Chains A and B, each alone.
Chain A
Amino acid sequence: MGKPQRLTLKEAVGLINDGDFLTFSGFTIWRRPVAFCYEMVRQGKKDLHLFEVNGGTHTEILAGAGCVKLWESCWVGHELYGKLGEAVARGQVEGTIIVEDYSHAQCVARILAGAYGLPFMPTALSMGTDILNPKFDNFKKAGLRDGSDPKIPLKKYDIIHDSLYDKGEILLMPAVNADWAIIYASQVGDEGTVRMFAHSYVDAETIKAADKVIVIAEEMVPDSYLRQEPDRNIAAGHAIDYVVVQPWAAHPTGSQYFYDVDADFIRNFYQASKSKESYDKWAQEWIFGVADHEEYVEKLGVNRLTKLKANSVLGYSTSVKRGTR
């Protein structure tokens, strides 16, 4: 271990193999490593296994392009800007994506166990739901729980009786330890210390739970600056393997204190995501039609980006129009 290695976005994405198991930073339409996902689509990654505490616009970008084979999560959509995850839904209905549903807090339990080196984490949340219906274990039905993939648990979950305080039955959620955590960070230090602005979601746990970590940072700053307030940092440099510095890497999702969610962009993408044909047309324009993220940002244009730019005190844009008034 030691200092993380600096890479370009293309080099970092080049490390990902078809069939690899990935997790991402962020929350629904906030702080997603979208630039990395665009580049995975450009490089034609296939058969990816995703575990996501929750999905979002980036999930749909990958699923629409046919990059995803296995998806373990609890939710996908675009919040207010697109009510469904159309590409994942199409994949599940057509059978091209194997979906394994957990509840949101069960997903958190899974990543927590993975982060802390435990095989499982107990939880009493979401008992008595069809999430636990043995008939609906899609990975088992696909023959994936035979132990041949060490990253897939032998059971979707387990139920144990609490033998310590005799509180009754409680669930055990299996740890997740993905091959890769792909983390969009507000700031990274030159020695790899990571800071997230506003709220940290499950980013710290997601970093710890993965075998290898790629950080895509909005900006790089001196580590000595981040070390003045260590309580605001979520990961130490030795936990990070690779760093890419890529401004606007979360667009169209938001990044607190840098830029707001690009609502119009996501609304347009959501419309396009409703069929394979319209997705392909959209991808032709916004993914394959640009050589890299620099060209993408140039295509977005300075006026659009200026509107999204966050107020430095409030942390969000005060000029973007959000509602009908």
Chain B
Amino acid sequence: MAKNYATDYKGVDLLAVAAAREVNDGDVVFAGTGLPMLAILLAQVNHAPNAVCIYEAGTVDGRALDLPTSVGDSRCAWQASIAAGLTETFYGQLHCGYVDLGFLGGAEIDKYGNVNTTVVGDYSAPSKRFTGSGGNPDINSYAKRTVFIMVQEKRRFKEHVDYITSPGWRIPKWPSGEYVHRREVYGKFYQGGPSAVITNMGVFRFDDEGIMYLDTVHPGFTAEQVKDNCLFDLNISRCKGETERPTVEEIDLLYKRVDPEGIFLP
């Protein structure tokens, strides 16, 4: 049966739908507050009913009746298989290797998928501070795949981020600080790494060298426009075409089942 694609949707809807499509049925997913929640919840009510959602504040596989506004929300604990704490989620779930997919955000990203959520400028004398790392680097360092959901702006897609909060594919090996492939830093602890970046303009993936390329461009944009919105030289030669549009059913689920109160959606 041909899919019934929506003609009227907002940028944020496509972002949530494209992110949800990264979830395979049965995946164990670690999700942060905001769009990541929409993505995992949409996947669960649509194509991945056996996906398990972990929120870092302490709940495993909750079945919230109402959308949580943060990962610490009481709503996360409803019908959870485990409601414990951070030791369970970070060490009992993540560090022990259960997590397939992490959904994260970021303020700045570079072509290797290194993400900054800490400061603008030199860390020793910053001009601005963001929230800080939170669990972003932890999830990103131990989930088998990580998907970043971000706003596409030229100043956010940089050659080098001001501070590596969260590790991409080429990262410093301390104490020397020499940049090496992620496998070299993690060794036998290696689990995986960033697999996609989804913005309001396109979907990006990483090649064998760990360098970001444009995979699909969202309807209404061109690959060149996306390239123009990056400070680094984005590889657009592998672009497969347009990102699949949301279906009428997906938009319906998003607005009626996942976020009927309009908490994260407009």
Interfacial residues, chain A to chain B (CB-CB below 8 A): 26-30, 53-55, 73-77, 79-80, 83-85, 88-89, 92-93, 99, 101-106, 108, 112, 123-136, 138, 141, 159, 167-170, 197-205, 254, 256-257, 260-261, 263, 310, 314-316, 322-325
Contact = CB atoms under 8 A, between A and B. Distances in A.
A88 B164 CA distance: 20
A101 B117 CA distance: 12
A181 B240 CA distance: 55
Given A125-B95, A201-B57, A322-B263, A104 B186 contact: no
B117 to A, nearest CB: 9
A61 B67 CA distance: 28
B171 A128 contact: yes
B263 A108 contact: no
B74 A88 contact: no
A101 B133 contact: yes
11 contacts: A27-B86, A79-B69, A101-B132, A104-B56, A130-B118, A133-B174, A314-B65, A314-B66, A314-B74, A322-B69, A322-B261
Contact of A316 (B75, B164, B167): B75
Nearest to A311: B74
Contacts of A74: 132-135
B220 to A, nearest CB: 24
A104 B129 contact: no
Interface residues of B, number: 71
A164 to B, nearest CB: 12
A54 B70 CA distance: 13
Q: Helix, strand, loop or mixed for chain B's interface? A: loop
A103 B175 contact: no
Given A136-B123, A257-B74, A324-B266, A128 B85 contact: no
Contacts, number: 236
Contacts of A106: 138
A54 B134 contact: yes
A289 to B, nearest CB: 29
Interface in B1-48: 33-34
B131 A83 contact: yes
Nearest to A89: B129
Given A133-B172, A133-B174, A261 B90 contact: no
B127 interface: yes
Interface string B99-121: 00000000000000000001100
B133 A84 contact: no
Given A129-B167, A322-B263, A325-B262, A168 B133 contact: no
Given A93-B129, A129-B171, A130-B165, A325 B95 contact: no
Contact of B91 (A105, A133, A141, A203): A105
B195 interface: no
Given A125-B95, A200-B84, A80 B74 contact: no
Contacts of A159: 174-175
B259 to A, nearest CB: 7
Contact of A126 (B33, B69, B141): B141
Contacts of B163: 130
Given A105-B138, A325-B261, A75 B58 contact: no
A206 to B, nearest CB: 10
Contacts of B131: 75-77, 83-85
A27 B76 CA distance: 13
Interface string B175-203: 10100001001111100000000000000
B126 interface: yes
A93 B128 contact: yes
Contact of A128 (B69, B72, B90, B164): B164
Interface in B130-171: 130-138, 141-142, 163-167, 171
Contacts of B134: 54, 74-75, 104
Contacts of A135: 123-124
Given A101-B118, A104-B56, A314-B65, A201 B133 contact: no
Contacts of A108: 86-87, 90-91
Contacts of B56: 104
A246 B252 CA distance: 45
Interface in B210-266: 259-266
Contact of A199 (B58, B90, B177, B263): B58
Interface in B62-84: 65-66, 69-78, 83-84
